[in-house]
């Protein structure tokens, strides 16, 4: 008897899709890392990359329809001129006027941003925020989030409304504004972030009469999540991740500590090249960790005295008031929690090369050239 077995094979994105692709009209407007048009006239950004991946599961192709602003794009969607508009905050009022995707595209927070050369404001320095002239795009949920944030933290600002994000950011760059309150701008922004708050999911929306397209979208988004759950995270890091080209913004307590900090003594492993070692020619601390400390000094002004330790050194043999570099050591910088108390450290450096460096880079939060109200 001859038996044959057919091993089950996974159904890939386009195996069961019909041959004729649906043309989906996408509302687009200049929005930096979210969506924009490059120098070659091609649409680019998070939205484009995400929809290109969705097309593999939904068997779609796209026609991008450009609008001058978020408000124009939203009006076009509600009028049925386009099929989808992305990066929209979900509200009960909006649910009565448009269909929302079941799953979100990502979660984004609102920020307060200032010019890169404006050193008047520390991170969450609410006392200094009072009296700022702040730009916001009219009609957006991010503007509402800022108003709640300012009320909760007891500071008042002069608020100026704009029709478009581009006009608002131009006013900031020209010195007409002290700051802007807007959805996180993306990793390519030239502006410094001095506050972050109100993280919320953003969705794709459709006209009320596009239920069939909405069902296809939900199915495709679910299949993408099952087949490639890391894809949205990769896109988020590409377009909205930390801008490591900008230096971080510290709190007032942190700036005060940095201005008076003593030289911090740090024990390092001298035998873990290329991560951490002692240069045999100069006797200096070298390796990847040493490079991180050089950058910390450049950014913060902190000075360090490095003490090598070999593989046989026991903790009891280390110099007093010295803490070794460690991924689990606690940072010597003051905490950002307003509820927590902090006492400046002595000459012990409870470092950090992983936890502190990660904190410094996370503090950067400098996010695209424009992000519209949503």
Q: What is the pTM for the complete model shown?
A: 0.66
For the segment 154-159, the average pLDDT, to the nearest whole number, is 96
369 in Cβ contact with 239 (< 8 Å): no
For residue 306, what pLDDT is reported? 93
Q: How many CB atoms lie within 10 A of CB 50?
A: 21
Cα separations in angstroms, 42 against 35, 52, 231: 10, 13, 22
pLDDT at 131 over 70: yes
Question: What is the rounded average pLDDT for all residues in the chain?
Answer: 81
Question: Given this model, what pLDDT does residue 360 score?
Answer: 40
Question: Highest-confidence range of 106-120, 182-196, 246-260, by mean pLDDT?
Answer: 106-120
Which ranges of the chain does DSSP label H, i.e. alpha helix? 46-58, 70-78, 92-95, 126-129, 141-152, 165-173, 211-227, 231-240, 252-260, 288-300, 355-364
Percentage with pLDDT > 90 across the chain: 54
**Mean pLDDT, residues 223-242:** 89
Residue 359 has pLDDT above 70, yes or no: no
Over residues 47-59, the pLDDT tens digits come to 999 999 999 999 9
pLDDT tens digit string along 225-234?
Answer: 999 999 988 9
pLDDT band of 315, cuts 50, 70, 90: low
């Amino acid at each position: 008897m001859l038996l044959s077995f057919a091993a089950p094979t996974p159904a890939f994105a386009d195996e069961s899709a019909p041959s004729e692709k649906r043309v989906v009209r996408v509302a687009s407007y200049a929005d930096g890392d979210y969506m924009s048009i490059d120098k070659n006239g091609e649409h680019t950004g998070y939205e484009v990359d995400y929809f290109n991946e969705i097309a593999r599961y939904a068997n779609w192709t796209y026609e991008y329809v450009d609008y001058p602003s978020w408000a124009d794009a939203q009006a076009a969607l509600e009028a049925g001129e386009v099929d989808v508009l992305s990066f929209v905050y979900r509200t009960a009022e909006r649910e009565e006027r448009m269909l929302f995707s079941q799953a979100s595209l990502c979660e984004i927070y609102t920020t307060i941003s200032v010019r890169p050369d404006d050193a008047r404001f520390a991170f969450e320095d609410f006392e200094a925020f009072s009296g700022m002239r702040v730009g916001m795009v009219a009609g957006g949920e991010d503007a509402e989030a800022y108003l709640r944030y300012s009320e909760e933290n007891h500071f008042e600002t002069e608020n100026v409304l704009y029709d478009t994000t581009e006009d608002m950011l131009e006013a900031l760059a020209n010195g007409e504004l002290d700051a802007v309150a807007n959805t996180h701008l993306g990793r390519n922004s030239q502006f410094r972030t001095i506050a972050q708050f109100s993280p919320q999911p953003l969705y794709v929306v459709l006209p009320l009469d596009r239920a069939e397209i909405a069902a296809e979208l939900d199915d495709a988004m679910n299949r993408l999540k099952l087949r490639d759950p890391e894809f949205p995270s990769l896109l988020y890091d590409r377009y909205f991740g930390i801008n490591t080209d900008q230096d971080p913004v510290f709190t007032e307590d942190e700036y005060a500590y940095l201005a008076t900090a003593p030289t911090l003594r740090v024990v390092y492993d001298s035998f873990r090249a290329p991560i951490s070692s002692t240069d045999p020619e100069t006797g200096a601390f070298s390796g990847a960790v040493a490079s991180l400390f050089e950058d910390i000094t450049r950014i913060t002004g902190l000075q360090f005295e490095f003490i090598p330790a070999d593989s046989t050194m026991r903790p009891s043999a280390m110099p007093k008031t010295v803490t070794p570099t460690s991924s689990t050591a606690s940072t010597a910088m003051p905490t950002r929690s307003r509820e927590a108390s902090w006492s400046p450290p002595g000459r012990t450096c409870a470092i950090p090369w992983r936890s502190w460096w990660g904190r410094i880079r996370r503090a950067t939060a400098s996010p695209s050239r424009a992000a519209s109200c949503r």
